[in-house]
Structure 1
Amino acid sequence: MRRVMRIVSVLFLLLIHFRQYHSECVMTECDGTEDKNHPPCKTNISSIAPITVIRSKNPDYFNRIEKFCSHLILEDHRSNVCCTENQIQGMTDRLSNAVAILGSCPSCFDNFAKLWCQFTCSPDQSDFMTVVETSGPLKIVERIEFEVSRDFTEGLYDSCKSVWFGNDLSLHMLTTDGKVSYNNFFGFMGKKNPTQNIPVNTDFVHSANEVIKTNKRKFLSNWYIQKIMNLPITPCHKSAGPNLPACGVIDCPSNSYQLLDLSGAERLGKKVFTTAFLKPEWALQICGCIALTVGLVFVLKYSCHRHPTVDGCYMDIGKGSLEIQFEHLCEQYATKVIAHPWKFVLLGLLIAAFCCSGNSKFHSLTNSIDQASSAKGETRQDRKIFFDTFGPTHRIEQVFLTLPPSTGTMFNMPLFEEMFTLVNNIKNLSVVYGTSTIKLDDICYKPLGEKRGCAIMSPTNYFQNNWETFQNAGPANEGDEELDDLHWEHLKYCIKNPLTVSTYSEMSCFGEFGGPIEPSLVFGGGLCFQYYGARTFMITILLNGDEGKCIEWEAEFMKMMSKYKMKNANFTFMTESSIAVCNKTIIRVIIVLIQNELQVAVETDKIVSVAACAAVLLWVFTMLGTYHWPEPSLLSALVHHKLLISVSAVMINVISVWCSIGVFSLFDVHATDNAIVVLFFVITCIGINRIFVTIRTFQSNGHCYGLPNISDREINHRITDTMRRSIPIVLTNSLICSTCFFLAGGVPPYVSVSMPAVEVFARHAGLAILFDTAFYLLVILPLFQYDARREMLGKCEIWPWYEISDNTKTDICMQVSEGTLRSPVDWFKIAIAPLLLYRVCRVCTIIVFSFTLACSLFWTLKLEYGFDQTMAFSKESYLTNHFKNMNKVLNTGPQVFFIVQGNIQWHEPKIQNKFCTLAGCDENSMGNKIRSLAYAENYEGNYLHGDVNIWLDSYLQFMHPRGSCCKTDGKHFCEYYRTV
């Protein structure tokens, strides 16, 4: 019995000393403080118990708890919390700010809100929170230990790690070092930072299970069960409540919600020639062309008869064969030319004068869209719809600064001083326009209105483009071991977190225009850590004012930058230009930089083309003449030269091009300067063949050497025979060439080409060839008969009063008959032709030809559309270097717009879900597909990347806001607007 009583006494004593620990508040509002953002204080005897909030007695208080902390509400419309009304107001305001970052995924934000609701208001704070450090007489909490279940913290991180905010992950703004990871996420939230609304330092203790700890409180040593904060987690692909949708497919890439996988995609759509089957309409058109050609050949070749006494084939048309009839017509025409040469020349010159008069209406195409896209093409129509709906796009001015190899890192004070000076000079650049003075501030794009600054993407805009602001950042305090110079700490922090409103230097990262500066737009490089080592800095300015004012300012900008000097960096620049039109008359064409460079390139091409024409002229003059000096006089050496006919042929080629341009200009069809330059060269090369055919036909039959006392009848016979043989060849050649060009130019009934630059060039070339043929018949042949008559009479070309003697004429004819007098063209007949007849040479020629053909076909399949933009300028152009810099360091390309046309009922939720990307939208909506493509990083051929803005998302968020944050002012993250 005594033993039993002893056991009972021991148990009684144990029951006295072992008691259950009751949950209490560990921090509350500081006494006498009304600031809702003030850090909390450690609880005392009077504030250790939770506060009871009843809906009927405290409606505003209760509604704030219900907004984000509904899990703290009990069934009887009351709640026990450890936060005062002032504290709950501050917490809900801070969570409202977080909605802008994490609100696109309701499940993520719900988990995030649970964490801070438990931290601020949970009635069980003492179970999982311990105040570690306080300051001041009020015992302001400086550091607290927060023990959280590992399942909860990992679930919170997993639900938020893929949530997007703008063109970046949301957690990039909520992590240390700008790198999204589990430790960096909780490390960021645990570090005190009043500017980021983090009031105290928090040591997150990630525990797996409940543990038993000892606690010495007052004077009594007690054992109690230490709990941890562990609430149910809502996975991102599940709804966080009855009225909340699950996260969208972009914010929740779980097994059933994958981002677009393009790893196995094939790169298509860039090759000029592919092995794919042609479209049916193209196949039919090609078959029609082949059938027409075959039919024509059959008619001309196989529908003829053999004459028993005459060699060759002829058709029963008229009195003889078709060939004979055609040659007879050519002979009759030659007779007319010989009889009335000046009448034909005069007629040709009149036609040339009339057609060339159309050049008075000519103006060169300067707009690239007019050259690359047809008026009825899809690109032009989409562009028109976009401009009619949203207005023209912004004009872009760019400056790229590159550090020389001898310069160190980008964190260079002299460099930034020069950069601030450059930006300031650009901002102060003025130009007189009419009666007013125009500055950049008058024409620049201001996204937040006229009261804010210009949208200038520049590293200096992290300091609001103000040198004094940069200087005020100042170096770090003495003895500060954590920070380096605050100039660069501010810049580094802004690169990692562009949306930061206050850094270590207590300055905003937002530009003077009130918006963030995307690092990829101002630093050359790819990833965040690479920006610190950037050696190229980009300054981009957007203009959105009156076009005439912009053009004038751009002209002055080009003049300034052309003479600008920098000591610590090399730079390249680029701007735009256009044509100012008033009262339907072009009053001024201001060529600024790009067009100026194109014009310089055109002028260079003109020089090259003139040189090419001179080379062709020299070649014709050299190859068609016969070089001998039969008499002591120098003039005798010029009897058998062809200077007159060579110069005339080249001039006729040039006139033919001008006639073609003039005719098309009369019908308001214009070409580019580049196309015209190439046109002169092409037509000259093609047209010069005609004079070669005629002269060589005349020379090969020995007609060019006259005998003493040769009669006019014999001379006319020789000239007529040459024309009869050469005219059919020239006409056939002209018909084939012009047909090919008209086929490419889309002249009816041929197939049309969709690219205007090719189409216009081909049409001009085809018509120029026809003009060249006409002038050959009207001008060149009369000049040829004059030159041939002169040569057979033995007269000098440049001094027709000089004539070689009869004995010399006889000697020359004997040398020709013996084969001792030759022209340069005979070298091909003597040396090249016999060489090609050797069997070895023929075999080698066939092998080389076959190999070349096979290689050409192979590399043709590798050929891709377009060409590098640097090919449009000379190597010496500063635009060439600028474009090279763009290709090398610029990670962001032009904007891409997706326009939906049609009568769409946007107010219907089913229609909205097919286009939006928010939580609750269709998984396969158009917006989700575009976002998936923009964020897919596993396909080298995917060039769509960056921020995706869908107006429907913005509209739905505006109509159903979750937070009270309306916009940023560049200093504070949000401005609040309350309705009265």
Structure 2
Amino acid sequence: MWHSNRAPTDNPFRLTLFILIFLIYGSLPVVKADCVLYDTCHTVKHGTEKLSLPCTKSPASLSKSLDGASQKKLAALCPHLFSDGPNPSLCCSSTQVDVLVNQMSMPSQILQRCDSCADNFIKMWCDFTCHPRQHEFIQVLKTNSSQPGNASYVDTVKFELPADFGHGMFESCKNVRFMQSRALDLMCGSGDGDCTLNKWLDFMGTKDHTNHIPFNIKFQLSRCFEMIPLECYPLAAAFVAVLILLFFVIVILCNKWLPFLRARKGIQEEPIMEASYSCLPYMGKYLEDYLENKAREYGRTAYHKPLRVLTFGGLVALLFIVPIYRLSFSEELVDLWSVPQSRARLEKEYYDTKFGPFMRTAQLSIYPQKFPADQAAGQNLRAANGEMFGPAFRRPFLEYAFKLVAGIHEISAEICLDTEAEQAKNGFICKNLVNVTLNDVCIKPMGPTGNCLIMGPTSYFQPEFVFGHDDKSLNTSFALAMLINFPLMSEKHNLPKVLAWEREYLRYMQQTPHDSYTISFMAERSIQDEIEAETRSDAVLIVMAYILIIAYACFVLGQYDVTNNQLSSLMNQSRMLMGFLGLFLAVLSVVSSMGLFAMFGVKPTRLLLLIVPFIVIIIAYNNIFVFVRAYQRTRFEHKELEIRIINLCGYLIPSFVSSTASTVACFGLGYLSGVATVSNFSTCCAIALVLNLYFQGTIFLVLFIWDSKRAEAGRPEFCCWQKMFPNRLIHNGYTILLFRNFWSKVLLFGWVRGLVITLFAIWTLASVYAMQFMVIGMDPRIPLPDGSYVVRHFDAMERFQSFGPPVYFVVKGELDYSDPKVQSALCTAGGCDPQSFGNLLRDASQLPASTLIPFGGLNWVDDFMDWQDVVGDPPCCRKDEYGHFCPASSTNPNCTYCGAGEDQFYERVSYFKTDIPGEKCPRGGAAAHGGSISMKRPGGRRHIDASHFMAFHKNLATSADFIEAVSASRKLANTLESNLRVATGNYEVEVFPYSIFYVFYDMYPELVSDAVSRIIAAMVGIWLVMYIILGFDFTTATSVLISIMAATINVFGAMSIFQVELNPLSLANIFMSIAVAVEFSAPVARAYKHSKQKKRNERVEEAIVNAGSSLFSGLFLCMFGGSIVLAFAHAQIFRIYYFRMFSTIVFVGMLHGLVLLPVILSFVGSNHKPFVSSPRFGQECFDFLTTHLRKKEQAMHTSSSTRHSASPTPHSFRNDQNRRVVAAMPIEEARPLINYALLPPLAPSTHLPHSSKDIFRQTPQGNQSPITEVHRSLPHIIQ
């Protein structure tokens, strides 16, 4: 708190707030009341009705003279227009009010089942007709006039509707029902059940007198600010982001500029109890000095006791490496995309437990080509009766397809069923060698002796499932392609046989000739096989990238100069061994982190072996470059090696700790992500980077000291037994010269600095704008190699398939299925609840655009109720005299009808599950519903604990389709669950959807919110670490944060421009980009903070030269050189997510750390304060202590005036000589003075101490000193 005589504008926070308000209000449009449509001046006759058209005029003043009846009508219909008072200014006349009320009567009745829908719909037309600011969202495009000279009336207008409002209105109305259909099916005009918001608006805006629409309205959806409805801004989100960024810049500028202004005006400020203001810089200085002193002490220990330090490093490495023998990698693709605790994984485990794992599939599609030898192959044909058929029904085509399926039946795979132990016992000779055919691994719904289930023209025949065409609207008789599916077993014990057969199936399909036909195919194992083959094919490039990084680092780390014309002297200052040592320690860090995973039983994915070593090696080499370059600069100081090493440790170890702590904070918060790839990657990186810092501080430091002794003794590397003349003064490298003579000079020109800020602001603004076009998901073709047969099959399925994977709506929980009320809540047939489970699923299939379910579900309750009926000869449900079930094919005369009593309900369900459908009883549930019901027998009583109802998704081609399918099915499941709970009265029952692909897309609906929250948390963590490590320097820490935030935003923008989708893999790279930005920014900030120069520009220049040159030659060139090799990879995933993103990350990080951050610091960096070299408090803290001690004295005088005499005056604090002594007092001795100054009055008679030693002498023996208690809470008190 401050008291002064300054003007209000001298307060930086008031001025900042004023500027921000000015910016916001200056950017908003001027709002004035003006009408576009007012009153009616023309009518159109339609039958016996007259339709009124509004005039295109604006009254001189807005109407406030609606008659009482019109006001009541309008207030009842549009109450929001009267929110400002009972007599508002409106753009409508009494005639328009009557027309509006009349036109809204029918929609109100149609939409009355949903109040929010009706309110939104009516509100839109109320604003269109009467809103006082019509000019902001209505524009007249065309007018007409009945006669010359008459008022013109409207023919066409444009209505700018806020996108959020429009979509919200549609969402509230799309499921409203009117009679037995959807209300919007009536209001969309098409009646095809595929109503969308655009179709709805187009119908309402198309002039049609039959539908009471007298003129055209062109609706335009626009992004709008809620506070100014119907008025939109381009780049609205980006504008807000830039305002926030500008606010922070203004705050910093005001805090730096206004004190200077006040000093010039002579304004005096009196601090009142501002401990943090006066002492916080010294506390920061004390913290920095403390860290540096401890680092120097450690450097001294490493120099004099290298074996001890080396031993500690080796022991830790050994501790973490030993458990690695237990490490095993996860081979499941699902572990790459979802964590075990995710919703989809838990639901999958529940489904697999109750109903068994989902079946595997082998797929095949065939379609004709037009070759010169067979031009008719791709043309339609006409049957004898004149009916047209597609090319798929040509006889040669059908014969080829049947022959191909017959060949697949003959595929045989040889497999050894012996275990590894049995094979080793038999000398690796297989004793149990079997041949596996399709009949051994296929699904047989009709029982073990039945035929294989093949979904194709040769077996189970459903036209929409087995025939396809480019145009999905055509009848299947015009089919162009044939689609065949082979469902296979998925149980774990059958998996070896299935995998062996799939391998032979793929080989057979690749070798099958197809002259006039195109064949696409895949098996369940195809994707994983292709990814593994792709990784093997690009392994050489990955190795080349690592070799390039290592070779570059090993060569550039050294300095090369010829002494006395001896070429071998070139190796005097080489650092190749240090380069290899850096690689070894980085690999050791990664291996140790994997050993920690093995210790806790965590199974990482093999993808981590591609990403984690790259980032660890890059950051490891960056630290090594900084350390070696700093050592090379110390060779000009003419000091002993020991002193230089100790000083290097004191300066660089805190810097390494700060950057590593910031990076680990970023990755550590990424561990909390619900995305498996991000979580595993962040965890492994965080552990590896911590271990890498430890190994560098122990093993590397000791070996570097030894290597430096070798170099300064003039012994060449690799020939250390030779001794030559040591050349201590080797010139600076070209990188330092580049940064000293060009980079720093050009960057700090006055107009260049302004240009840099402007360009980066525009870049950030453009990135924010581009982010809204970023696509979420991952194209399933991206992980596959170019030209893969799987990619061709995906293209064929997208082209021809009209249905997608099945989806199961699982009912979880205890329901009494024998209760007729529960059966009515589940069934679909006549007499069932209109809002039953089955009816809602059927209705959902009629809305495929929103539910993505075009085919109705299979309802086992319906089939069971038909199956248990007494109809049929014989009835389906019978049992013999022993209570055993009799199938319909049984001729046992003792079999009688089961009955329909509730007490035998679950017994009948068990019969239904096992009854194989046949000619006499086609309703048997074994084929269609055998796996739909999970039954238990708790206490000997049968019970259904779970069941599911199957439907099919529509054809899902893109990742956006899959993401939408997950969201739509979960939304439908929530509706089913709420209705089922109400109908049954059981509020513990749960309903969830399950499909085989949900585990791969489970994270996407929450991916954006998860990414934003984790990134914000990472930014906060980075700022806190930088704030503490930089000695509580708010300005410098905030400058670093702004640089990192801008870098992250610009990486997102580059992803959108380069069409890199947002998915778990790219999100892991985003966290890597934050880490790289920290590595570029933190050393520059610390170098600026520790510069001894007086002016900002000089300090920035020194920071750029010292830190920037090392970062450029180390981090930037290493990472860019390693990633550029991946541009030649065959796999798209390497080219997109490694080359494109890695090169973007390193370029963006370098530009923000070495260009933007120095410029920001040159404007707002903290001023240089001449701290004394020794850790003491200084004069300001002494004045603060003196003030508090005097106030303590006065308080004690007041409290003791009636009983005691005044305490003696502490002359020792007022004497000038003692002031100088205490001001220079070491911090260890000054600390008790702080404790005492912050204590409450101890006693009225207590005398103030004359020195710090007096304080300890006054402490009673045997009791804990109150000073000690205050000392423990000192940081909290001062803050």
Q: TM-score, normalised by structure 1?
A: 0.55
Distance 2:627 2:528 in 1: 43
CA, structure 1 residues 722+543, in 2 after alignment: closer, same or farther (shift >3 Å)?
Answer: same
Structure 2 match to 1:396: 361
- C-alpha distance 793-889 of structure 1, shift in aligned 2 (>3 A): farther
- Indicate which of 682, 689, 698 corresponds to 1:778: 698
Instruction: Specify the SS of the correspondent of 2:738.
Output: helix
Instruction: Report whether the alignment pairs 1:766 with 2:766.
Output: no
Q: 1:275 to 1:668 in 2, by over 3 A?
A: farther
Deviations 1:65-104 (CA, angstroms, capped at 9, x unpaired):
xxxxxxxxxxxxxxxxxxxxxxxxxxxxxxxxxxxxxxxx
**Matching of residue 831 in structure 1 with residue 742 in structure 2:** yes
Selected match of 1:900 from 796, 811, 823 = 811
Structure 1: runs of 5+ lacking an equivalent: 1-246, 267-273, 277-301, 465-510, 578-592, 708-712, 747-752
**AA in 1 matched with 2:499:** I
The 5-angstrom pairing of residues 690-705 of structure 1 reads 690-702=623-635
The amino acid of 2:356's aligned partner reads G
Q: Are the aligned partners of 1:248 and 1:923 in contact in 2 as well (CA < 8 Å)?
A: no
Displacement after TM superposition at 1:894 (Å): 1.2
Q: 1:188: which partner in 2?
A: none
* Counterpart position of 2:670: 744
1:532, distance to aligned residue in structure 2 (A)? 6.0
Query: What is the rounded CA distance, in whole Å, between the counterparts of 2:839 and 2:823 in structure 1?
Result: 12
**TM-superposed deviation, 1:661:** 0.6
Question: Among 630, 646, 655, which residue is 2:579 paired with?
Answer: 646
Kindly state the Cα deviation for residue 781 of structure 1 after the two structures are TM-superposed: 0.8
Separation in structure 2 between the aligned mates of residue 890 and residue 842 of structure 1, nearest angstrom: 58
Q: What letter is aligned with 1:448?
A: M
Residue 659, structure 1, aligned to residue 592, structure 2: yes
- Secondary structure of 2:468's counterpart equals coil
User: Structure 1's 845 and 876: CA in aligned 2 closer, same or farther, altered over 3 A?
Assistant: farther
Work out which of the residue numbers 852, 855, 858 in structure 2 matches 1:943: 852
Q: What CA distance in whole angstroms lies between the structure 2 residues aligned with 1:839 and 1:256?
A: 64
From 933, 955, 961, the counterpart of 2:864: 955
What does 1:1-40 correspond to in 2, within 5 Å? none
Distance (Å, rounded) in 1 between the aligned partners of 2:574 and 2:675: 45
Instruction: Provide closer, same or farther for how the CA distance between residues 684 and 402 of structure 1 changes in structure 2, counting only shifts above 3 A.
Output: farther
Change (3 A) 1:913 1:953: same
State how 1:902-921 maps to structure 2 within 5 Å: 902-921=813-832
Aligned-partner residue type, residue 917 of structure 1: T
Between 733-742 and 769-778, report the one with greater CA deviation: 733-742
Is 1:448 aligned to residue 368 of structure 2? no
Residue in structure 2 matched with residue 330 of structure 1 by the alignment = 295
Within the candidate set 489, 498, 501, 1:544 is matched to: 489
Please give the residue correspondences for 1:815-830 in structure 2 after superposition, counting only pairs within 5 Å: 816=731, 821-830=732-741
Contact 1:397 1:574 in 2 (8 A): yes
Could you tell me how far apart the structure 1 residues matched to 2:796 and 2:225 are? 35
SS of alignment partner, residue 914 of structure 1: helix
Q: Distance in 2 between matches of 1:355 and 1:890?
A: 52
Superposed displacement of residue 426, structure 1: 1.2
Matched, 1:625 2:558: yes
Matched position secondary structure for 2:701: helix
Query: Are residues 1:887 and 2:774 paired?
Result: no
Q: 2:462 aligns with which of 501, 506, 517?
A: 517
Q: Is the 8 A contact 1:439 1:553 kept in 2?
A: yes
**Residues 861 and 926 of structure 1, relative CA distance in 2, 3 Å threshold:** farther
Higher RCO (CA-CA < 8 Å; seq separation 6+): 1
- Please state whether the residue corresponding to 1:784 is helix, strand or coil: helix
Query: 1:561 maps to what in 2?
Result: 509
Structure 1 residues 879, 686: closer, same or farther in 2, change over 3 A? farther
Structure 1 residues 384 and 977, CA gap change in structure 2 (3 angstroms): closer
Q: Tell me, in whole angstroms, the C-alpha distance in 2 between the residues paired with 1:956 and 1:425.
A: 42
Contact 1:331–1:724 at 8 Å: present in 2 too?
yes
- Matched residue SS, 1:445: coil
Q: Secondary structure at the match of 2:507?
A: helix
Which secondary structure state, in structure 2, belongs to the residue aligned with residue 541 of structure 1? strand
How far apart are the structure 2 equivalents of 1:427 and 1:908? 47
The answer to whether structure 1 residue 805 and structure 2 residue 725 are counterparts is yes
Question: Which of the residues 385, 390, 405 maps onto 1:423?
Answer: 405
Partner of 1:168: none
Determine the C-alpha separation between the residues in 2 that align with 1:888 and 1:977.
Answer: 39
Q: Structure 2: how far apart are the matches of 1:669 and 1:978?
A: 50
2:919 maps to which residue?
A: 975
Task: Give runs of aligned pairs for residues 280-295 of structure 1, distance below 5 A.
Answer: none
- Does residue 527 (structure 1) correspond to residue 472 (structure 2)? The answer is yes
The offset of 1:664, in angstroms, is: 0.9
Letter in 1 for 2:282: Y
- Asked if the contact 2:468/2:482 (under 8 Å) is kept, the reply is yes
Report what 2:523 is aligned to.
575
1:105-504 aligned at under 5 Å gives the runs: 249=180, 263-264=196-197, 313-315=281-283, 321-404=286-369, 406=371, 408-409=377-378, 410-411=391-392, 414-433=396-415, 434=417, 435=432, 436-458=434-456, 461=457, 464=458
Question: Given residue 455 of structure 1, which amino acid in structure 2 is its aligned partner?
Answer: L
- Whether the 8 Å contact between 1:359 and 1:661 is mirrored in structure 2 is yes
Please tell me the residue identity of whatever aligns with 1:905: D
- The equivalent residue for 2:710 is 790
Relative to structure 1, the CA distance from residue 756 to residue 557 in structure 2 (aligned partners, 3 Å threshold; closer, same or farther) is same
For 1:536 and 1:685, the matched residues in 2 are separated by: 51
Offset at residue 961 of structure 1 (A): 8.2
Change (3 A) 1:327 1:447: same
Q: State the shift of 1:669 in Å.
A: 0.3
Q: Shift of residue 946 of structure 1?
A: 2.1
Letter of the 2:316 counterpart: I
Contact 1:304 1:314 in 2 (8 A): no
Which residue number corresponds to residue 726 of structure 1? 652
In 2, the alpha carbon distance for the partners of 1:350 and 1:397 equals 52
More helix by share: 2
Partner Cα distance (2:475, 2:405) in 1: 24
| Offset of residue 772 of structure 1 | 0.5
Contact 2:295 2:653 in 1 (8 A): yes
Displacement after TM superposition at 1:898 (Å):
0.8
User: 1:678, 1:260 → 2: CA distance?
Assistant: 48
Structure 1 counterpart SS, 2:720: coil
Q: Could you tell me which residue of structure 1 aligns to residue 677 of structure 2?
A: 757
Q: Could you report, residue by residue, the CA deviation over 1:699-747 in whole angstroms, capped at 9, with x for unpaired residues?
A: 33445x9x7xxxxx7111112211221111111111111122121113x
- Distance in 1 separating the partners of 2:796 and 2:599: 43
Q: Distance in 2 between matches of 1:855 and 1:256?
A: 40
In 2, are the aligned partners of 1:639 and 1:796 still within 8 Å (CA)? yes
Q: 1:359 to 1:573 in 2, by over 3 A?
A: farther
Mapped partners of 1:974, 1:626: distance in 2: 87
In structure 1, how many angstroms separate the alpha carbons of the residues matched to 2:875 and 2:560?
Answer: 90
Query: Any idea what the Cα deviations from partners look like across 1:120-153, whole Å, max 9, x if unmatched?
Result: xxxxxxxxxxxxxxxxxxxxxxxxxxxxxxxxxx
Task: Write the mapping of 1:61-100 to structure 2, written as runs, cut at 5 A.
Answer: none
Asked if 2 retains the 8 angstrom alpha-carbon contact of 1:916 and 1:925, the reply is yes
Q: Distance in 1 between matches of 2:497 and 2:789?
A: 25
Residue 370 of structure 1 aligns to which amino acid in structure 2? D
CA deviations on 1:892-930 (whole Å, 9 max, x unpaired) are: 221111112222233334333333332333333333333
- CA distance change for structure 1 residues 415 and 655 in 2, over 3 Å: closer, same or farther? farther
C-alpha separation in 1, matches of 2:645 and 2:920: 97
- Matches of 2:706 and 2:719, distance apart in 1: 14
Note the C-alpha offset of 1:774: 0.9
- What's the Cα RMSD here? 4.1
Tell me which amino acid in the other structure corresponds to 1:855. A
